[in-house]
Structure 1
Amino acid sequence: MTTAPGVTDQEAPNLTVMVAAIGATVRQLRKEAGLTLEQLADRGQLSVGLVSQLERGKGNPSFATLVQIAHGLNVPVGRLMLIENTPSPVVRASQRRRVDSHGIPGDLCVYEMLTPDLNGALEATWVRALPGHDTSATPFVHHGEEIGIVLSGSLDVHVGDTSYRLDAGDSIRFSSTVPHWFANRGTETVDAVWVSTPPSW
Structure 2
Amino acid sequence: MKTEGGSLDLGARLRKVRSERGLSLRELGKLAGCSASLISQVERGQTAPSAGVIYGLANALDIPLEYLFGTGGIEDTPVPGGARVVGSHFAAGGSGGAGGAGGAGGAGGVREAHGRPGAGAGPGVSAGPPGPALTPAVDTIVQRHSGRRTIDLASGVRWERLTPHQDAQVDFLEVVYAPYGRSTDSRSPIRHEGREYQLVLTGTLHADIGFETYVLEAGDSLAFDAAAPHQYRNMTEEEVRVISVVVHAQ
Match for residue 56 of structure 2? 69
Does the alignment pair 1:21 with 2:73? Answer: no
Inter-partner Cα distance in structure 2 for 1:195 and 1:28: 34
Alpha carbons of 1:95 and 1:156: their partners in 2 closer, same or farther (altered >3 Å)?
A: same
Aligned partners of 2:172, 2:236: CA distance in 1, in Å? 24
The answer to whether structure 1 residue 146 and structure 2 residue 196 are counterparts is: yes
For residues 7-46 of structure 1, the aligned pairs below 5 Å read: 18-25=10-17, 38-41=30-33
The structure 1 residue matched to 2:67, chosen from 74, 79, 92, is 79
Between Structure 1 and Structure 2, whose CA radius of gyration is higher? 2
The two structures, once aligned, show a CA RMSD in angstroms of: 3.7
User: In structure 2, what is the Cα distance between the partners aligned to 1:129 and 1:170?
Assistant: 16
Deviation at 1:48, TM superposition (A): 5.4
Deviating more after overlay: 133-142 vs 167-176 = 133-142
In the aligned structure 2, how far is the partner of 1:52 from the partner of 1:93? 30
Change (3 A) 1:169 1:28: farther
Q: Structure 1: how far apart are the matches of 2:229 and 2:63? A: 17
TM-score, normalised relative to structure 2: 0.55
Alignment partner, residue 95 of structure 1: 147
The answer to whether the Cα contact below 8 Å between 1:66 and 1:77 also exists between their aligned partners in 2 is no
Distance in structure 2 (CA, Å) of the matches to 1:54 and 1:26: 14
- Measure the CA separation in 1 of the matches of 2:52 and 2:68: 12
Q: Distance in 2 between matches of 1:26 and 1:179?
A: 32
Q: SS of the counterpart of 1:66?
A: helix
Q: In structure 2, do the counterparts of structure 1 residues 89 and 70 end up closer, same or farther at CA, with 3 Å as the change threshold?
A: farther
Identity of aligned residues (%): 23
Classify the secondary structure of the residue corresponding to 1:99: strand
More helix by share: 1
* Structure 1 moving runs of 4+ over 6 Å: 26-29
C-alpha contact (below 8 Å) 1:131/1:189 kept by paired residues: yes
Question: What is the CA-CA distance between 1:153 and the residue it aligns to?
Answer: 0.6
Q: CA deviation at 1:186?
A: 1.5
CA change 1:60–1:52 in 2 (3 A) is: closer
Counterpart check, 1:188 vs 2:180: no
Which secondary structure does the structure 1 equivalent of 2:13 belong to? Answer: helix
Whichever residue aligns with residue 158 of structure 2, its letter is V
Residues 178 and 79 from structure 1, CA distance in 2 versus in 1: closer, same or farther, beyond 3 angstroms? farther
Give secondary structure in 2 for the equivalent of 1:20.
Answer: helix
Count of residue correspondences: 174
User: Secondary structure in 2 aligned to 1:147?
Assistant: strand
Gaps of 5+ in 2: 73-121, 126-139
Q: For the residues of structure 2 that align with 1:26 and 1:158, how far apart are their CA atoms?
A: 36
Distance (whole Å) between structure 2 residues aligned to residue 25 and residue 69 of structure 1 = 14
Give the drift of 1:189.
Answer: 1.2
- Range 188-197 or range 158-167, more displaced: 158-167
Note the C-alpha offset of 1:171: 0.7
Compared with structure 1, are the counterparts of its residues 38 and 66 closer, same or farther at alpha carbon in structure 2 (3 Å cutoff)?
closer
* Residue number in structure 2 paired with 1:174: 224
